[in-house]
Amino acid sequence: MRKYKIFWSLATEERWLNQVQAAGFYLTAVNRLLHQYTFRQLSHSTSFQPKVCLDFQKPLSWRRYQDYCQLFADSGWQLIQGSRFGGIQYFQQSYQAADQEIFSDEQSRQANWRRDHEYARRYSIIFLSEAILFRVTHASATGLDLTFDFRQWYLTPGIWHLQGFSFWKAFLIETPFVAFRNLSMYLFLIIGLYYLARSLYNGGKFAKS
């Protein structure tokens, strides 16, 4: 079973994953880019309903990441999805007697949310300034015109007056550059706004240290 869903905080994502699991499924894979979650049905013979917990990590060296995963594995948490380059690490409880939580005190639980929050804030700044940079460089080439007219995206002089083969040649040659300049701007804008929303949503959830 595949599900697509966007979350604004670790807490809501974790809650939703465990709700789905409680209905007789277990998480097998996560695609962060597509926001895609893959579940499989629990076998009827088992009464064990595993729990999923999310930890947010900064980038770690290969050795530290291995030690990190091993510590969780020793404690009964199997890594479903994660990367040593940072981000959300999805852990699944591997046996019934294992701990119910990956955090045993409130401070470390909040420190986890804070890591996610700071990462989201940093990424919103990076992506939004990229989007603005693209817009400004585009504006300096064409003049600041905020109307949505894709013909303005093409910079070849007189391209829209060309005919037949010479038009298509100029059009096809320039299209990749246009796509790169403009669509990446919108992509950065969307990603930037996603992280901005995420950092703002998370911001009210915990006390500042």
Whole-angstrom Cα distance, residue 120 to residue 192? 9
Segment interacting with another protein, rule: CB under 8 A, options 4-12, 68-76, 124-132, 198-206? 68-76
Provide, rounded to whole angstroms, the least separation between the CB of residue 90 and another protein: 13
Are the C-beta atoms of 195 and 3 separated by less than 8 Å? no
Q: How far is the CB of 71 from another protein (least distance, A)?
A: 4
Question: What is the CA 166 to chain-centroid distance, rounded?
Answer: 42
Q: Kindly state whether residue 55 participates in binding another protein, applying the rule CB under 8 A.
A: yes
Q: Which tokens hold the place of 111?
A: 């420190």
CA 27 – CA 17 distance, rounded (Å): 8
Residue 94's closest CA among 108, 84, 80, 81? 80
Among 43, 45, 104, 147, binds another protein (CB under 8 A): 104
Residue 61 engages another protein in binding (rule: CB under 8 A): no
**To which residue do tokens 């789905």 refer?**
20
The answer to the question of residue 17 lying near another protein (CB under 8 A) is no
User: What's phi and psi for 11, nearest 5 deg?
Assistant: -65, -45
Question: In which element (H, E) is residue 73 found?
Answer: helix 62-74
Name the residue nearer to another protein (CB basis): 39 or 65: 65
Q: Which of residues 70-89 bind another protein (CB under 8 A)?
A: 70-72, 74-75, 77
Name which position in 20, 42, 79, 111 contacts another protein (CB under 8 A).
111
Residues near another protein (CB under 8 A): 53, 55, 63-64, 66-68, 70-72, 74-75, 77, 99, 101-105, 107-108, 111-112
